Structure 1
Amino acid sequence: MTDALAPVRRARTAIDDVADAFFLKLLELKPELAAALGIPAYGSGFFDYSPAGHQVFAQAIQKTLARLEDLNPVDDVDGVTLDAMRERLGLELEFLATGITELNNIECPSQLIRNVFDLMPTETAEDWERIAERLENVSGALDGYIASLRKSRDEGHVAAARQINAVVWQSREHAKDNGYFKSLAAEAEIKDNELDAGTRSRLERGAAGAAAAYVDFADFLETELLPTAPEKDAVGRAYYELCSRRFLGAAVNLDETYAWAVAELDRLIAEQVEVAGRIKPGATIEEAKAILNAEPARQLKGSAALKQWMQATADQALADLAGVHFDIPAPMDRLECMIAPTQEGVIYYSVPSDDFSRPGRMWWSIPPGEDEFTTWAETSTVYHEGVPGHHLQYGTATYQRELLNNWRRHACWVSGHGEGWALYAEQLMLELGYLADPGDYMGMLDMQRMRAARVVFDLGVHLELDVPEQWGSGTWTPEKGYEFLTRHLDISEGALEFEFTRYLGWPGQASSYKVGQRVWQEIRAIRQQTDGDTFDLRAFHTEALNLGSVGLDTLRRALLPGF
């Protein structure tokens, strides 16, 4: 078989030109995006998070959509680009029109401003100069965000008190003497040399200024925003529907999806019972997990051991799958596992730089006080974040520079597509035999169960739906939801608190994983049925990955033309 992931060469089109022009505008408006992609030419600033900055962004979107109006696709790639841009950019305008400035514990400017420093190179004195310059710009970025939060408040839109309190805590943690910014400056070093006194002094001043800016931000949240914040977490159906379309790139029947998720959760629990019997005949799920937790070979002590295990597991998957089930050419064959510098209880992937000089990375943010880990519970997570999950997904889009325009490669990301693929990848690894060990199989089912429970919680609490009789009575409240999560999310207390707050503050996102997986599996099943004996799973995956990340409706139209 030929290398299906060889770079596909294709002539540029007028639609590609519009997409690439918009991508360049994004880099200009959002220098932190350029930093995330390893493109230093756009300076060390931040997006203008003020109302004026959002207006400039909206105007750029409107101009782009207007340029697309009279253009017709010349090939299938163009058709997908046109479909995806109209859906993504149009939806962005809908969000901007709400006047809502988002604030939550995981994905808002408060975190985005800090997170960019994790992706900046630290090899040379020049790298540290750029970091120092960006540290000096933190205060202005947060000031712009504060201005938008004030405007949003004045128009009647304030995040729930729970989210504000969470971000206050995060901000004050960053600002401590041993917090993120001052630690970043104190630990600055370059290979085989010393940073000069001027650079180190600038770093220290920049870190102190950034820390002070986060203190001021926390003070603003506590004194100005919190007194006006609603206690109620539920966002209601109208706003939830908008959020759901953002994360899925599709409009789904929310009530049907809720009923499906309840049934899916029951199915996964029944499958766990069956696997528990393989671990010990007659064992309950809890008893089987206790057996797994007691096996020394499945235990890891300390973050160094966790990082080493993550890397070894990821490397083995790369070596085994490359050239057999997937084409993984260099430089996609490098994945770096990292312990995150934060303590927020989340595991995530960061994209490779455009030239792959900085590889794709898997990050583990360990909550305070946690020092012991179990491999059986986390093996499928490595496949989710790494190969064949996000690393193949992002890596393929980055690699196909001759096929996809830069907006498709770097700026279009849809959670339902991306996270749906990563869950699909977990299931695929089970199909391929990599999770045949009953412990690893139980861990995968635990992760799938968690994602199904999240759909039930997310829809149930935000829409205030009826609690299924097997899980309680009445309508959902956050308190009922928390108790429900404790029964289905077998994670640490710190991670559970983070996840609970995340779902309440980021409506629609938690559901996008399992709903996205559902769509991926439906598309594959239809292709298998229609293609019959000619269906080639490896070729199907390559075709799908070569699309990059798009909304789920766009994905259906691309992979199932005529349906």
Structure 2
Amino acid sequence: MNKSFSTAALLFGFAAVLSCGNPTPKTVSDAEINAWFDAEYEELLQMSPLQLATQGRKDRYDQIDDMSEAGEDQRLAWMEASVEEMKEKFPLESLSPEARVSYQLWEYQYEMEKSDVAFRRMNYVFNQMSGPHTMLPNMLINFHRVDESADMEALIKRYQETGRAITQLLERAKLQTAAGVRPPKFAYEYVIQQSKALLQGQPFSSDAAEAPLWKDALTKIEKLEKEGKITAEQAETLRSNAKMALTQKFKPAYEELIAWLESELPNLEEKPTGVSRHEKGNAFYAHKLKSSTTTDFTADQIHQIGLDEVKRIQGEMLAIKDQVGFKGDLKEFFKFINSDPQFFFPDTDEGRQAYLDESTAFLDEIKAKLPQYFGILPKADLVVKRVEAFREQPGAPQHYNQGTPDGSRPGTYYVHLSDMKAMPKSTMEGVAYHEGNPGHHMQVAIAQELESVPKFRTQMNFNAYAEGWALYSETLAKEMGQYQNPYYDFGRLVNEIWRAIRLVVDTGIHSKGWTEADAIQYFSENSSIAPGAIQAEVRRYMVIPGQATGYKIGMLKIQELRKLAETELGDKFDIRRFHDRILGGGALPLDILEKEVKRWIAEEKVREQ
């Protein structure tokens, strides 16, 4: 059987593992099975030009992934054959504890990939949060490095390939619609707006401004010319070819997408509930919760955890309110935080730069303290940047994009700054730690730099683990001496209650029939998040069901495991070694993470004897 596998299988978790039996298996060395994993992973990577580019590689540099359902089927068949081969070659009982984890992860991702097939037309193909219509241009601008003339020629071919990919994805959206699954109306309204922004300006119109991809192309070609790597004549040829690819391949695909989306608007619901309104919606949501949390928690259980956490965090909020001497109740304090000018930068270019500068300063400050809490430290750099204009949304959440394993592209903390009223100073510090160090950047960079595990594990991402670690990091930063301003410490709690509210609101929308208005009301009554940000958040949950639940579930598990280690080890507990155990094996599903921490505790007891 030919083997092929989905890039998505690397980015999200997958389900349980069964051991295979051989009563007296020979011992397999870690080097032997890791070499097999590395060979399989290399074959897998070669099937995804985008994953290769994400990792800073130039293999298949002029291509874009096959985005069709048939392509997914081929990749799943490859993974099935790979897992079967693994079971035949490497009986689970013959492996070391570390190799067993790799074995389990390789099968885990296949099992979840296989279970995704039943719901492949349930995930909204185009939405305002994670749609390929903005992801692909973003990758072409930020991930496709141009060092030589051949790289620019490859980029021009990728403009053409993007048109093909968008056409394939549009076909999938049409299949989804035929199956009776449509997103809320606002999702397509955003996608139309974002897609049109990509076509505004030269070379698509006679406007003085330059469209994002054209501006990027001109910059990259000019750089080659200034470095003496191409002549003026070659530069002109590259500009001409880039213009042709954008206007003849890229533009028609996006125009077709926009036209179809606009034709669909009358058929979409203005005030929808969650995915439970679709056929198989409840089963789909249960699947998404399992994928996002890597647990078997039901929607009702997650909803209750959220309610309990909201109540607990509000108690801590009241303590800070009293500390700063505010005389009103918590809701009045929320209003004060949301409206007093001291908590906002000016809505000007200077104000936006101040937000970036202060965020960078917080990250520089905590970076100096990392060796006190971590033995393993990231080598990769981190930068703070404003989101590109074509995909920027008022009030949308900040996010992190990983760098390359070799450090040639740094990790990037992206900030939406089009509406400074949606970006209060009070929450800025905690978000910087979440997205940067010791949060996402530290976790992802360390994983990518690991040399003790097979390469596929350095690139894995499980939502509950990654987001749980980042949220844990916000609280860890307080332990490290940050949040000297009590209002910023309150902002930390605002960020945490935000994630607790997500448990309530996400499950409310998708399993309890809540409308957008219901979700916004609960959010508003229980947090000081700015109104614009609340709407953006609720709309995020509506189009990406379950994803937002991973943060708090993951954080609670990491805190639970730390408490267990502290109790079991007593004075022998070393915070640096604990954090190294959490981060030193790459991303893991929560059940496997728990087993690994318990194994580490047992090893620590022996080590200290």
Counterpart residue type for residue 429 of structure 2: T
1:295-374 equivalences under 5 Å are: 299=345, 301-321=350-370, 323-327=371-375, 329=377, 331-332=379-380, 334-341=381-388, 342-344=391-393, 345-367=396-418, 369-370=419-420, 373-374=423-424
Contact 2:377–2:442, Cα closer than 8 Å, also in 1: no
> Structure 1 stretch 308-317 or stretch 449-458: which is displaced more?
308-317
- Which runs of no fewer than 5 residues in structure 2 stay unpaired? 1-27, 202-209, 277-281, 603-609
1:244-283 equivalences under 5 Å are: 244-283=289-328
* TM-score scaled by length of structure 2: 0.81
Alpha-carbon distance change, 450 to 315 in structure 1, aligned in 2, over 3 angstroms:
same
1:393-542 equivalences under 5 Å are: 393-400=443-450, 402-410=451-459, 412-464=460-512, 476-488=514-526, 490-542=528-580
**Aligned to 2:427, which of 377, 388, 398?**
377
CA offsets per residue over residues 119-172 of structure 1, 9 Å max, x none?
A: 222565554433322212111011111222233333444444443333233222
Counterpart residue number, 2:115: 94
**Aligned to 1:558, which of 586, 589, 596?**
596
Using the alignment, how far apart are the partners of 2:364 and 2:342 within structure 1? Answer: 23
1:171-210 equivalences under 5 Å are: 171-177=195-201, 179-188=211-220, 189-190=222-223, 192-193=226-227, 196-208=235-247, 209-210=249-250
Q: Secondary structure at the match of 2:63?
A: coil
1:105 aligns with 2:110: no
1:386 aligns with 2:441: no
Contact 1:171–1:214, Cα closer than 8 Å, also in 2: yes
Q: Secondary structure at the match of 1:358?
A: coil
Alpha-carbon distance change, 489 to 29 in structure 1, aligned in 2, over 3 angstroms:
farther
Contact 2:447–2:458, Cα closer than 8 Å, also in 1: yes
How far did residue 15 of structure 1 move?
A: 3.7
- Which runs of no fewer than 5 residues in structure 1 stay unpaired? 1-9, 465-474
1:167 aligns with 2:191: yes
How far did residue 417 of structure 1 move?
A: 0.4
**Aligned to 1:150, which of 161, 174, 195?**
174
Alpha-carbon distance change, 230 to 293 in structure 1, aligned in 2, over 3 angstroms:
closer
Alpha-carbon distance change, 248 to 179 in structure 1, aligned in 2, over 3 angstroms:
farther
Q: Secondary structure at the match of 2:297?
A: coil
Using the alignment, how far apart are the partners of 2:478 and 2:200 within structure 1? Answer: 44
Counterpart residue type for residue 124 of structure 2: E
Alpha-carbon distance change, 246 to 14 in structure 1, aligned in 2, over 3 angstroms:
farther
Alpha-carbon distance change, 207 to 60 in structure 1, aligned in 2, over 3 angstroms:
same
Using the alignment, how far apart are the partners of 1:112 and 1:15 within structure 2? Answer: 35
Using the alignment, how far apart are the partners of 1:160 and 1:297 within structure 2? Answer: 33
**Aligned to 2:64, which of 46, 49, 67?**
46
How far did residue 492 of structure 1 move?
A: 4.5
Alpha-carbon distance change, 276 to 69 in structure 1, aligned in 2, over 3 angstroms:
same
What RMSD, in angstroms, separates the aligned Cα atoms of the two structures? Answer: 2.9
Counterpart residue type for residue 339 of structure 1: R
How far did residue 328 of structure 1 move?
A: 5.3
Using the alignment, how far apart are the partners of 1:370 and 1:348 within structure 2? Answer: 16
Question: How much identity, in percent, do the aligned residues show?
Answer: 23
Using the alignment, how far apart are the partners of 2:151 and 2:532 within structure 1? Answer: 34
1:29 aligns with 2:47: yes
The structure having more radius of gyration, on CA atoms, is 2
How far did residue 257 of structure 1 move?
A: 2.0
CA offsets per residue over residues 384-427 of structure 1, 9 Å max, x none?
A: 01111011101111111x211111001x2111100000000111
Using the alignment, how far apart are the partners of 2:199 and 2:252 within structure 1? Answer: 7
Contact 2:421–2:530, Cα closer than 8 Å, also in 1: no
Using the alignment, how far apart are the partners of 2:568 and 2:67 within structure 1? Answer: 48
Count matched residues. Answer: 539
Counterpart residue type for residue 402 of structure 2: V
Using the alignment, how far apart are the partners of 1:145 and 1:426 within structure 2? Answer: 37
Counterpart residue number, 1:471: none
Using the alignment, how far apart are the partners of 2:81 and 2:588 within structure 1? Answer: 21
